[in-house]
Structure 1
Amino acid sequence: EAVPENHLIGPRTSQLIHSGRKQLLLRTTSGSMEFKMKGSDNQEKLVYQIIEDAGNKGIWSRDIRFKSNLPLTEINKILKNLESKKLIKAVKSVAASKKKVYMLYNLQPDRSVTGGAWYSDQDFESEFVEVLNQQCFKFLQSKAEAARDSKQSPMVQRNSSFATSHEVWKYICELGISKVDLSMDDIETILNTLIYDGKVEMTVIAAKEGTVGSVDGQMKLYRGVNPVIQPTGVVRTPCGLCPVFEDCHEGGEISPSNCIYMTEWLDF
């Protein structure tokens, strides 16, 4: 039910939520939220609730203004106050280099905000990606060479030359070359670039439930190969090998117009 903006909130039981241009809704809230916001006024509680609802993807101040219908000067004052209390934090987003999103202080930002393992302070770590690319390929090469040296039957050699993404992930983690925690998905992204480059092939096999590295009863296996023919023109372009291809768009942090690798490829 709509209530006037100056209606008092019951302690530990309700929270003002903006609904429409000149009305607020009253809803129940948790005691923990009320405890954190003890001593705050209604406007500050409203902004906090909007930020909390945004989760670990955060929310821009512009959207906070739209949802709360508060003046920008008042929102900036509230945001600064909540930050000083360490209830919220501002996080730079790779989606827009000059904008920050706000989220609760104890949340880990979503990959869509930070860019994941391939970014540091909004900058794409191309050298780091290249090192991972080389080390993953080196591991698969060594496994293939060990299989060939085993002098077993060709079929056994071929099967033993494959490695799971979990094995590659474990090898990279043991090298200690990454300052951030890499996930299996991160490693599979790198392995995909090697597949596009014609250096690695992948096969999918059935796996028992609970097997390390398996998903939905299936497991991906990778092996290093010597390309028989050169990759196609599309794959040889930086786009064919780029692990953040899906994040590349005009006007973004990663854009075709400012891609130094595309420039080098065209000059070559």
Structure 2
Amino acid sequence: MATNIKDEPMEVEQVEARILELCLGSVKGVTDQQLQTLIPNISPTQRVTAVNKLLQNGKIDLMKSGSQLVYKVKDPDSTSKVKGGDNQEKLVYQIIEESGNKGIWIRDIRWKSNLLLTQVNKILKSLESKKLIKAVKSVAASKKKVYMLFNLEPDRSVTGGAWYSDQDFEAEFVDILNQQCFKFLEQRLELAADMNVDPAARMNKAYATSLDITKYISELGISKVELSVEDIETILNTLIYDGKVEHTIMATATGQKKLYRAMRQITQSTGLMRTPCGVCPVFKDCKEGGIVSPSTCVYMKDWLDINF
């Protein structure tokens, strides 16, 4: 009778090779329960010894997926910078690395690593001292810090982008950009009006792309940070909401292009339209005691301060 391979005793090296093979074959990793099922002819001691040896040799990683611990094949580049660190330090480093430039909160690090707060704090201080990670304040919460790799530039959702400095909204900077963008479009409109061409051509000449406006703002040198086209389009959108600018989209050979043009007020608006209520998109939901209320409307207060 032939001997079943599953019933043959396995050496420690064979157990290691089998565990490594299973980890390589699973993108999501292998749980301890799966190891017991897939390698039934080894004792718990053999399994633990083989797993610990693979962890010590840096061939696999211990991660947390939901409520379960899983073993994954180690990325050769993922923790090579954590020299001299123990397995817990390498685990925390990898968790932070996986969060990318959006970072990760300490509570989530604790949950994924299954470590105590004191252990996580100690590891984070060690990694920070080695300049492998950094703590970044998030605009989402003044007291909240997220951790990310030291060489990464934080995502806009963390820093707030160009409109924030040390978590404070730069209202004055935004106002200046608003004025300069409108000034550029006004000048474009005036130049187009002086052209000796038909009305349709004059209107087309008054349009400018968001890239044109971005270059203009960049050449002015009024921003300490480099503004992207998306940043300028955000400013242009505020001008559209204010009724100062209109925009259209033109199809091109490579896709679409956004065009913007300053608007001239042909007639004086009525008294109602000059009040915030006249252009308020949630006017019908406005009532005393509601989420939108006349007594708490900041736009109404500003309008009253200016006119009375």
Fold-level match, TM-score > 0.5? yes
Identity %: 58
C-alpha deviation, 1:50, in angstroms: 1.0
- Work out the CA distance in 1 between the residues paired with 2:200 and 2:256: 21
Contact 1:92 1:101 in 2 (8 A): yes
Q: Normalized against structure 2, the TM-score is what?
A: 0.72
Moved over 6 A (4+): none
- Work out the CA distance in 2 between the residues paired with 1:223 and 1:157: 11
| Alignment gaps of 5+ in structure 1 | 210-216, 240-249, 251-258
Alignment correspondent of 1:222: 260
- Counterpart residue type for residue 103 of structure 1: M
Contact 2:133 2:147 in 1 (8 A): yes
C-alpha spacing 1:11/1:231, structure 2 compared with 1 (3 Å) = farther
Which residue, 51, 64, 82 being the options, matches 1:18?
64
Alignment correspondent of 1:233: 276
Alignment correspondent of 2:152: 107
Q: Which gives a bigger RCO, structure 1 or 2 (Cα 8 Å, sep 6+)?
A: 1
Contact 1:97 1:122 in 2 (8 A): yes
Contact 1:198 1:231 in 2 (8 A): no
- Counterpart residue type for residue 265 of structure 1: D
SS of equivalent to 2:78? helix
| Alignment gaps of 5+ in structure 2 | 1-29, 33-47, 283-290
Contact 2:79 2:93 in 1 (8 A): no
Q: Normalized against structure 1, the TM-score is what?
A: 0.82
SS of equivalent to 1:56? helix
- Counterpart residue type for residue 126 of structure 1: A
* Cα deviation 1:42-87 (Å, max 9, x = unaligned): 1111111111111111111011111111111111110000001111
Alignment correspondent of 2:223: 178
Tell whether 2:26 aligns with 1:2. no
Q: Give 1 or 2 for the bigger CA radius of gyration.
A: 2
SS of equivalent to 2:126? helix
Tell whether 2:56 aligns with 1:27. no
SS of equivalent to 2:243? coil
* Cα deviation 1:77-130 (Å, max 9, x = unaligned): 100000011111100000001110001111111111011110011000000000
Tell whether 2:85 aligns with 1:47. no
Alignment correspondent of 1:189: 234
Aligned residues: CA RMSD:
2.7
